[in-house]
Structure 1
Amino acid sequence: MKCVIIDDEPLALGILEKYIGAFPVLELIGAFDDAVEGGQFLKANVVDLLLIDINMPDLSGLELVARLETKPMVIFTTAHKKFAFEGFELEAVDYLLKPITIERFEKAVQKAAERFELKKTKNEESIVVRSEYKAIKIALNDIAYIEGMEDYIKIHLLSSRHPVMTLMSLKGILESLPENAFSRIHRSYIVPDSQVRSIQNRKVRLLSGAELPVSDSYAGFIEKWKNRQT
């Protein structure tokens, strides 16, 4: 993964450069102590992963990421816990509190690597997720539905009574699934369109027998599904 660091503290910048060098999966292509200069580099180059401090002069890390038209995966680094919510609102891969240990950094890299692999498999017939310290390959046509549970998701399978749990957001996995094949119907649920048997009273009944609610925010799915049946 091609990565970039933006941090106005030279010590923090040096530590992250050292950590990145310890992981072959990462390739450092830029390190900046100025947010504006770093932002210009991001606009002109393809970057897979951005490690960026939040509290910086002139332009905060949150503001910089929000302005990017094409966003890389982001790991926020900061000495202030109060910014955690804003960081996750921007779908950050992780949020590292300074001083950052190599062990905590490794966990963040693992999360980024898993999301990176999912993006690469977007047009394939399966996805690979990490669960219980191992990589698990899941065929797309074996997915009954996906359920969000705070920081985790449950991937319910047609072939097993035991769902696969992995540390990821619903938005993150939806971006990794084929377009027009999976739909979000609720803040807690994603369904394969092909598994929908019927919709009645804002409830989706799946071929597996499961019934899931459709929330107001995703009510447009009902009309989309009906139009496909005609």
Structure 2
Amino acid sequence: MVIKCMVIDDEPLAIKVLEKYIKKVPDLELVATFDNPVTAGHFLQNNTIDLLFLDIQMPEVTGIDFIKNTTIQPKVILTTAFREYALEGYELDIIDYLLKPISFVRFYKSINKYRALNTTIQPGSGESTETNETSDHIFVNSNKRMIRIEFNNILFIDSIKDYVRIHTANDTIVTKDKISSFVEKLPSCFLRVHRSYIINTRKIASLTSKDVVLLGGMEIPIGSSYKEIIKFIKD
């Protein structure tokens, strides 16, 4: 499914960066860009957008004001050069915020959060959508026990049907879950590189080719929809 995107930012350079990143991801389509929130609001009245990249700090109308006063609204990822403004955005049910200057790896993490929200989270499920950028661990249910796993110990995560396996240097923990639900539970150093694999980019040993990454003695395949991300991991 194609994800129709729109960018609103008063900085031309910021728009160009997001344009470049959106073009790199096969299932994203850039529909329009605007440097004026008012004009963008009129566009939304007559066009369908799935995902909006919205700058917070803009003259006259801020990104926060735009969200509060726009009735027809897609899912939103906020962008900002000021970390202190991001917390207000979470009160408005946004997907994520990107701190400028935006790296492709962090951008891609946000896209995976959007995918996860649109494929796994059901109303009333009680699942938290809070990111784990400030946490250093996760708890998973395995064999009727809640096991604490440090993020730094995770090499990669893979899935088999309805089960997810979390691979560390010394162990493999199995839990009943969908791999897509892990995307938003992990910090930004983790990337989904295949429909069945999430890797810890800090644990990469080598990139053997554009289709395979060597990690923890294992060759992890790169899915066809994720190949563009490898060049940015190299950087």
* TM-score, structure 2 as length reference: 0.54
- Residue 25 (structure 1) shift: 1.4
**Helix, strand or coil for the counterpart of 2:119?**
helix
Q: Does 1:89 align with 2:91?
A: yes
Match of 1:68 in 2: 70
C-alpha distance in 1, partners of 2:19/2:114?
Answer: 17
Q: Distance in 1 between matches of 2:20 and 2:43?
A: 21
- Does the CA-based 8 Å contact 2:116-2:184 persist in structure 1? no
Give 1:193's aligned residue. none
- Structure 2 alignment gaps of length 5 or more: 133-137, 145-174, 186-235
Unaligned runs of 5+ in 1: 128-144, 170-230
C-alpha change, 1:154 and 1:115, in structure 2 (3 Å) is farther
Q: Which amino acid aligns with 1:10?
A: P
1:151 alignment partner, one of 131, 145, 159: 131
In structure 1, the partner of 2:54 is 52
Question: What do the CA deviations read for 1:40-66 (whole angstroms, capped 9, x no partner)?
Answer: 112221110000100001111111111
The aligned residue for residue 106 of structure 1 is 108
Structure 2 residue 22 is the aligned partner of structure 1 residue 20: yes
Q: CA deviation at 1:80?
A: 0.5
What is the CA-CA distance between 1:151 and the residue it aligns to? 3.5
Post-superposition Cα deviations, 1:62-103, rounded to whole Å, max 9, x if no partner, equal: 111111223211100010111111111111111000000111
Distance 1:59 1:147, change over 3 A: closer
Matches of 1:43 and 1:94, distance apart in 2: 23
**Structure-1-length-normalised TM-score:** 0.55
Distance across 1 between alignment mates of 2:140 and 2:73: 26
CA distance in 2, matches of 1:46, 1:52: 16
What SS does the aligned partner of 1:21 have?
helix
| 1:12 shift after superposition | 0.4
Q: Find the counterpart in structure 2 of residue 226 from structure 1.
A: none
Moved more, 62-71 or 19-28: 62-71
Equivalenced residues, count: 145
User: Aligned pair in 2 of structure 1 residues 148, 16: CA closer, same or farther (>3 Å)?
Assistant: closer
Residue in 1 aligned with 2:166? none
- How far apart in 2 are the matches of 1:83 and 1:102? 21
**RCO comparison, higher one (Cα < 8 Å, 6+):** 2
Residue 29 of structure 1 corresponds to: 31
